[in-house]
Structure 1
């Protein structure tokens, strides 16, 4: 039956209604065959029963008879067609594709190589590999996963297989090379060299894994910094909302500006953190990729491939040193205070409460400052301000400590001084020259002078000078500096009031706390440290 079915073509087993191979074939009285479902549905849709092929009419609907022969033949044909399709698909799957190693023995269409023989220097497909798996003489040949360019495994000088590894020159050599060019070198069998390099790859992979872990910990550290920054931002926003909701329409604009300022700082902080995280994730991705490559290489049985790839893959990909990199938390100190200060007349009680909370925050940056009488500055002058007591002694002294980054806070007791200049400054090199007080000259200070503009007063030499309206004479002044933020703020500690703030400052490399007790009612100053206390 199977032999007979091979002589038949597909059109002999097609239903004329559905045009597919018969399913449950039946015969009607005129002798034509159809699928049982097809002829039944055809007659159900017609008024008269008629053969779709010969058009013979039937007065009554004929009884359908199962055609056992056609049924068996159709089943045989379907099975044969499926086997042919499966065989064709299997053959196509074994054909060598671009990028795959083809069989060197196949003629015509090249099939995919299953193994390469290091003795024969030939790659074999599944069919042509059989002798190496069955014949005793060929069984001793060394088979590896299929590789191209087997000629590259031969010594070009001696035309022999590269079987040894020279540790001295870090290269693969043949046995003749070991008694000629590499005679006095440290030479080991290829397998021993392979195992040694494989061990080194494992060590390198362990180091890379440690680098990945270190960077993952750095990501956690940065995320924690972002969380702290978020809490600080939330706290500041909450304080700001509490302050400005106490006002009516006149305070709504100030409230929005405060929130925008804080959010902008937070946005910059998050942007920096996201940049760090992105870099770290990119490095982790590169390291994981290298780890995968190393794992694949370490599992390779191809000795030469491992040794040739060792140099390019053994070292970890270039990465940044993250040890001292961290997200700098934005500075919110003074934000709410400066905003509320504009509403001083209506918010004096609230200002005092806020200032006390503010001082607690900035006092965590308190430093001990010691003035050095040996570091004497030139006498500063102020444009548009007539200097009194010309010719009398006026010491302008810096601290011993210099600051180049971060935040710091110190306070000064001024009760015994009638005139004074206080703040931070750069260090001048020519001590005999006079310098005008201004940020452009490296001075961020506030001053008190008698008979300035005909009367005593306080001012900030900001270029030009700004007169300050203070209700009381400050006896203790706190100075807070945020180097990166470019902020210098002065606070009256006793009255909980902001005296003045310099913002957007561009500091030199080093800045020093600065104090100048100008003539104090005729008292000659010999030692600043004995007469003034900075804490």
Structure 2
């Protein structure tokens, strides 16, 4: 007890080591001069207190070396008296305790896989000094050392059975695993380590790809903003030259551009956030794999390996594809064209100008595909919106199929429902919201107004309808129609799905391919039923 008390007296409560150049502060406690200076410097000029008793001092006390105490500490060092272990050196419930220490146990410094025991730094010295013990395998402190001992034969399990995927001892190999494929745990660890490294390489590659995608998306946001700002600036100059009516239109158009800009930026940022979340998950997975990779205990490594195997099953993430930029340039061109005409022309063309804003897309279209594989790349599953379905239209197969029926369906009232025409629209609609729904006039019929397009198919053939203008289209009879829609390029193509793609309908082959510089909507009509979609 006296020795322990002496150790505590001559130890600094800040660094927990022997006092070095000891000083005594007014409350009577002693510290290393550098320790107390650093402590007070970190707390600031107004905080001068004793780390032990918490007594505060109005002025920062002057520090004078305690010569007597310094001499005593010097003598203690000569006699070999060591400082008492600090509290943080003792094993807590979550730490691995030393198996040799009696009473209050110190934290283990290493675990021995041969002795199946853990040792503090003091009791580990024999493993460094005694020749027989130098050959033992020392690893970081481990709580699960007993898991390396065979419960049936009470000997180390140094063999791994690949047939049963478990650790065994030499007795187990002769009794229950005689004809199984067995290898030393070191060999299995080497194999699994290689697999782990390969998994980490794949994960790191996906991480690099995702980080690259984030950069691309950020550039996309900047490009959208620059294009939108340029469009606003140029259009403000154009409308400044027009009369008061043009100024009002300019204000409306600016609002539409900003709204579309916000939508596009929001879409890209949402995707960016998703990619960043995936990056964070990849980093966490990499950290887990790295931690496992550094495990020195082969058995513990193999125990944990199967638990983390799910990290290796992640599929490669799809990459971000950004096509050449276009954005709002078409809008500016349309406005310049209209600005050359007078007010009456402007009034007539205003709808087309306004609609150009909604056509802006962050991805410029690619050439129209020429093969079936090329078309399938853009395939989408279309589902009809029940809220738009006329009561004579029956939806089935989860909204993927529509049928005209005589019996009226009991659909609830909804402002988007067609009540006059036997029609239905898809959930992913890009049709104009202003399209009338509740009238029987031509304004409600898809293809009979300026906001929709229709390919009508019946026993008599085909006809293309837009703004109540009909155009007959010749071609062979077929039951299914394939549709290719490119918003940014303004291309809408209809194909006979029973013919090869290379024989798809083109202007030269009596096909139908209309190019418009505004948003497009196509319809499928099968005999007497119309189903509309935007894809």
Q: For the superposition of Structure 1 and Structure 2, which TM-score range results when normalised by the shorter chain?
A: 0.5 to 0.7
Which residue matches 2:14? none
Correspondence for 1:238 among 211, 233, 239: 233
Question: CA 1:272/1:112 → structure 2, altered by over 3 Å: closer, same or farther?
Answer: same
1:244–1:251 contact (8 Å) kept in structure 2: yes
The alignment partner of 1:176 has SS state of helix
> Quick check: which one's strand share is greater?
1
The equivalences for 1:456-467 within 5 A come to 461-462=443-444
Question: CA 1:404/1:77 → structure 2, altered by over 3 Å: closer, same or farther?
Answer: closer
Q: Which runs of 5+ in 1 are unaligned?
A: 1-5, 23-70, 370-402, 406-426, 431-435, 446-458, 469-474, 490-499, 513-535
Question: CA 1:237/1:158 → structure 2, altered by over 3 Å: closer, same or farther?
Answer: same
What is the Cα deviation at residue 251 of structure 1?
A: 3.7
What is the Cα deviation at residue 79 of structure 1?
A: 5.3
Which residue matches 1:109? 104
Correspondence for 1:141 among 136, 141, 146: 136
Which residue matches 2:343? 346
Give the TM-score taking structure 2 as reference length.
0.53
2:148 aligned with 1:153, yes or no?
A: yes
The equivalences for 1:318-397 within 5 A come to 322-323=317-318, 326=321, 332=328, 337=334, 345-346=342-343, 348=345
What is the Cα deviation at residue 95 of structure 1?
A: 1.6
Which residue matches 1:168? 163
CA distance in 1, matches of 2:240, 2:74: 81
Question: CA 1:208/1:502 → structure 2, altered by over 3 Å: closer, same or farther?
Answer: closer
Deviation digits for residues 314-367 of structure 1 (CA, Å, limit 9, x no counterpart)? 443675754265579896587565899799743748999x98xx8xx99x9799
2:258 aligned with 1:266, yes or no?
A: no
CA distance in 2, matches of 1:235, 1:460: 39
What is the Cα deviation at residue 466 of structure 1?
A: 6.9
Question: CA 1:502/1:20 → structure 2, altered by over 3 Å: closer, same or farther?
Answer: closer
Which residue matches 2:211? 216
Which residue matches 1:76? 68
CA distance in 2, matches of 1:404, 1:205: 34
Q: Quick check: which has more Rg, 1 or 2?
A: 1
CA distance in 2, matches of 1:289, 1:238: 45
Which residue matches 1:472? none
The alignment partner of 2:183 has SS state of strand
What is the Cα deviation at residue 298 of structure 1?
A: 2.0
**Number of aligned pairs?**
363
What is the Cα deviation at residue 90 of structure 1?
A: 4.7
The alignment partner of 1:208 has SS state of helix
Give the TM-score taking structure 1 as reference length.
0.53
CA distance in 2, matches of 1:140, 1:319: 41
Question: CA 1:18/1:195 → structure 2, altered by over 3 Å: closer, same or farther?
Answer: closer
1:437–1:461 contact (8 Å) kept in structure 2: no
1:286–1:317 contact (8 Å) kept in structure 2: no
Correspondence for 1:205 among 184, 187, 200: 200
1:132–1:141 contact (8 Å) kept in structure 2: yes
The alignment partner of 1:116 has SS state of strand
CA distance in 1, matches of 2:233, 2:442: 31
Question: CA 1:18/1:310 → structure 2, altered by over 3 Å: closer, same or farther?
Answer: closer
1:155–1:161 contact (8 Å) kept in structure 2: yes
Which residue matches 2:191? 196
Question: CA 1:438/1:232 → structure 2, altered by over 3 Å: closer, same or farther?
Answer: farther
Correspondence for 2:174 among 174, 179, 183: 179
